[in-house]
Amino acid sequence: MPQNKYNSTLSGNPQSATSQQYPNGNPDAQYNTPGVKNTDSCVPLHPAGEVLHNYACDGPTAGNIAFKWIYGSNIAARNRDPRIQAVQYNEDTYILRQNVCVHWEAPFTYLLFGNRAALLIDSGATAEAAYYPLRAMVDAITTRWTQLRRKKSIPLTVMLTSGEDIAQNQGLKQFAGRPETVLAPTPLAEMKRFYRLSDSWPNGAARIDLGGRVIEAIPTPGAHKDGLSFYDPYTRFLFTGDLIFPGKINIGNDKDYLASLIRLKRYMQAHPVKWLMGGHVEMQFVPGKAYPRFATYKPYERLLQMEPELLDDAIASARQVVGKELALVRPDFILLNRVSPDQRTSVFPDGVPNITAPRPF
């Protein structure tokens, strides 16, 4: 009897993280999808010349976060995880997480490669290379990447989602004096000049051409007065730093915050987004619950990536907090406006299950 109908409850493999709906791949999809062209073949034994990627693809390029992030340990002093967890999303896109027991902010930084340049978005919370060897990790990934592409070197630019944010600007010092490297300046006026946004801020966008892969920097003040988001049309990631991430979002200026979210919403109408990628994870995987600040053990963390629809919730929530001293709990984030970063609230969103995760020890 022919069995044409695929049934994931019979054939699904829980070890696969490629897709929840089709854990072993979608049998109805084409075998030879357009995304294939974005990976160059390793078959030729002696390939000739430099490899160039075509970053103009239909839909987001293929890529996968197939692993759990490091999340600290009960006894921070005894943590032996890597100081930086580096995950290859695809050959040209890397996600780096700082060890929670080196710094509780445990920020994510993103390394993107194009045909002619590389871009590091954000630089982590720790300056000391002995504790947090970001430069060494970036150098090593870059070396490997240039070998894959048969290039001698690739220039690097380091840009920040906020120059003032000490949870993201500390690693910058490690790149001082690095050859072929440009560091985006951190003082607000110089930063605006650097991106040629002095006249248009907070409107407009700056183009960063990595060679076929053109990243756009979009002014998004609100959490920080110098906030920037970065859009990558290749992965269709929108890197949002502290503006929107699954955690306790401290609003620096509520009017700017709401305006930036609305600007992003408009931007996303013309620029499709697969995931919003923030700079941190503080939420737990139960809705509406965050880890406290300074926590060095976060075993029940929410995923890093956020669906683009989450922006609608953020906009609606931001409208509610404007002008108020308020901590507003949402399933995937908490907005803190004009209150202490340690502000608590007993108000929990209607209709959202109120689950308390067990104590982690």
Partner 1 sequence: MPIASAILSAESNAQTPEPSAPRRIDFKSNLPAPGSFPDRWICGSPSCMDNQDPPIQVHWYNDHTVFLRQNKAYSYEAPFMHLYFGNERILMLDQGFTQLSSDWPLRETIDDCISKWCARNGRKPEALELLLAFSHLHSDHYAAHNQFVDRPNTRYMGLTHEEMLGFWGMTNYPEERVTLDLGGRDIWIWGSPGHVISEFAYYDTYTQILYTGDMFYRGRCYISFWDKWFDSMKRLIAFVDSHPVTHIVGCHVEISQTGEDYPYGVTYQPDEAPLQLTVAELRKAFEVAKTITKPGIYFTGSVFLCNQTRATTTLDKNPYTYS
Token pair recorded at residue 260: 């930036």
Q: How far is the CB of 295 from partner 1 (least distance, A)?
A: 7
Q: How far is the CB of 290 from partner 1 (least distance, A)?
A: 12
Q: How far is the CB of 292 from partner 1 (least distance, A)?
A: 5
Longest pairwise C-alpha distance within the chain: 72
| Smaller CB separation from partner 1, 73 or 93 | 73
Q: How far is the CB of 72 from partner 1 (least distance, A)?
A: 8
Helix (H) or strand (E) holding 278: strand 275-278
Site for partner 1, rule CB under 8 A:
74-81, 83, 99, 101-104, 126, 128, 130-132, 164-165, 223-225, 250-253, 292-296, 336, 338-346, 361
Token pair recorded at residue 361: 């020890």
| Smaller CB separation from partner 1, 148 or 339 | 339
| Smaller CB separation from partner 1, 104 or 145 | 104
| Smaller CB separation from partner 1, 284 or 296 | 296
Q: How far is the CB of 51 from partner 1 (least distance, A)?
A: 38
- Degrees to nearest 5, angle at CA 140 with 49 and 95: 100
Q: 117-145 as b/e, with b when 16 or more CB fall inside 10 Å?
A: bbbbbbbbbbbeeeebbbbebbeebbeeb
Distance CA 296, CA 358 (A): 16
* Residue 2 neighbours by CB distance under 10 Å: 4
Q: How far is the CB of 87 from partner 1 (least distance, A)?
A: 20
| Smaller CB separation from partner 1, 252 or 331 | 252
Distant-in-sequence contacts of 327-331, Cβ < 8 A, 24+ apart: 329/288, 330/288, 331/287, 331/288
| Smaller CB separation from partner 1, 31 or 361 | 361
- Degrees to nearest 5, angle at CA 185 with 156 and 160: 65
